[in-house]
Amino acid sequence: MSQFFTTIASLRSFLKTCPNKDRRVGLVPTMGALHRGHLSLIERARQENNYVVVSIFVNPLQFGVGEDLDKYPRTLDRDQQLCQSAGVDAIFAPSAQEIGAQAQLALRSGITQVLPPPEMTGVLCGRSRQGHFAGVATIVTKLLQIVQPDRAYFGQKDGQQLAILRKMVKDLNIPVEVIGCPTVREPDGLALSSRNQYLDTPQREMATALYQALRQAAALFQQGIGDRDRLVAVVRNFLATRPLIAVEYVELVDALSLQPLDSVFDALPDASDPNCTAQASNPEASSNASSLNSPLSNPLSNPLSNIVHEDCGAMLAIAARVGTTRLIDNILLNPLFLSESKPE
């Protein structure tokens, strides 16, 4: 039975009743309107912890003025049922007042903020969504303080967010392990997203082009081409033929630092980062690897062969409007594997 909490005090009391010895708490932060992407995070948290907490909070701090805060889908009853079936122990669904985050940052929310480095927030989505990642970092810090989990789970679909939260946890010495989880897709490849609900039928059909375009670039990479301009061009050319799609950006960046790359092969591992230096013999990491059938995937001939963590390497990322709906997607390009769920 999933317990349901709307106050910080009641959630904390519940967590205190969980036996401390061998207690492992996994937190899955969400904005609700749960789908199979969220469920994959919950499933992973279930496997790795003995208590799973899911937070459901549509966070005003991370919405800009004119964005979709008011119309963002809110499906709490259904979310509760899904959490129940997925074996979630506690759902935390506070009001904005309870969490102390009533207003958007741009409207002077009056809250102490966590500001990620501008180098990471000034690129990709940060260019058009000013203040968004400060809003995310601030609320995630609050959730981590409230729940104090051992592990927190985030999707690779929001790759910039994942990189920024990894950096935040490291820089602020927050005692939690950030776990990145692969993007879950519809059978035609579209990344699951709560905002897909905004698409009408023609838009939904065309939205699948985002992933198809990324796959074109992945195919080029499989031939050993890591050059930024060529990878970006193949994505842009593919999308240019889709009238309902307006591209905001297509960029190749380092998946951890988010800095622009001229080539996939410039995404060198950070030797000080244990996430990036796990050996290829690590069975868990190796099992995530999907062969690229490329000479580059030969670990012996490849200087990046020790990069096995699923969100290291280069990230080829897209943001685009499909009609009026803004969608994002990305793939990881890494000589050893693509960290992607394949379309079913």
Ligand X SMILES: Nc1ncnc2c1ncn2[C@@H]1O[C@H](COP(=O)(O)OP(=O)(O)OP(=O)(O)O)[C@@H](O)[C@H]1O
Of 129 and 309, the one with the shorter C-beta distance to ligand PAF is 129
Contact between 28 and 144 under an 8 Å Cβ cutoff? The reply is no
192: contact with ligand X by CB under 6 A: yes
183: contact with ligand X by CB under 6 A: yes
CB of 277 to ligand BAL, least distance (A): 29
What part of residues 59-78 is at the interface with ligand PAF (CB under 6 A)?
59, 62
- Record the tokens describing residue 147, joined without a space: 């729940």
Q: Is 38 a catalytic residue?
A: yes
Among 79, 89, 150, 158, binds ligand BAL (CB under 6 A): 158
Of 76 and 289, the one with the shorter C-beta distance to ligand PAF is 76
Q: Measured between alpha carbons, how far is 129 from 318 in angstroms, rounded to an integer? A: 14
Of 5 and 265, the one with the shorter C-beta distance to ligand PAF is 5
Contact between 207 and 190 under an 8 Å Cβ cutoff? The reply is yes
CB of 330 to ligand BAL, least distance (A): 13
Q: From the list ligand BAL, ligand X, ligand PAF, none, pick the one residue 189 interacts with, judged by a Cβ distance below 5 to 8 Å according to partner type.
A: none
CA distances from 132 to 34, 246, 283, 291 (A): 21, 21, 36, 36
Of 131, 113, 114, whose CA–CA distance to 122 is shortest?
Answer: 131
| Distance between start and end Cα atoms, the chain | 30
- Record the tokens describing residue 40, joined without a space: 């994959």
Among 15, 25, 30, 208, binds ligand PAF (CB under 6 A): 30
Among 29, 182, 189, 335, binds ligand PAF (CB under 6 A): 29
196: contact with ligand BAL by CB under 6 A: no
Site mask for ligand X (CB under 6 A), range 241-280, x = bound: ----------------------------------------
Q: 332 CB contacts (<8 Å, ≥6 apart)?
A: 156, 159, 255, 310, 311, 312, 313, 314, 315, 316, 338, 339, 340
3-state helix, strand, coil in the chain (%, to 5): 40, 20, 40
- Record the tokens describing residue 159, joined without a space: 């790759």
Site mask for ligand BAL (CB under 6 A), range 247-266, x = bound: --------------------
Strand partners, 246: 321
- Record the tokens describing residue 211, joined without a space: 């992933």
Return the active site residues: 38
Binding-site ranges for ligand X (CB under 6 A) = 30-31, 37-38, 40-41, 154-155, 157-158, 181, 183-184, 191-195
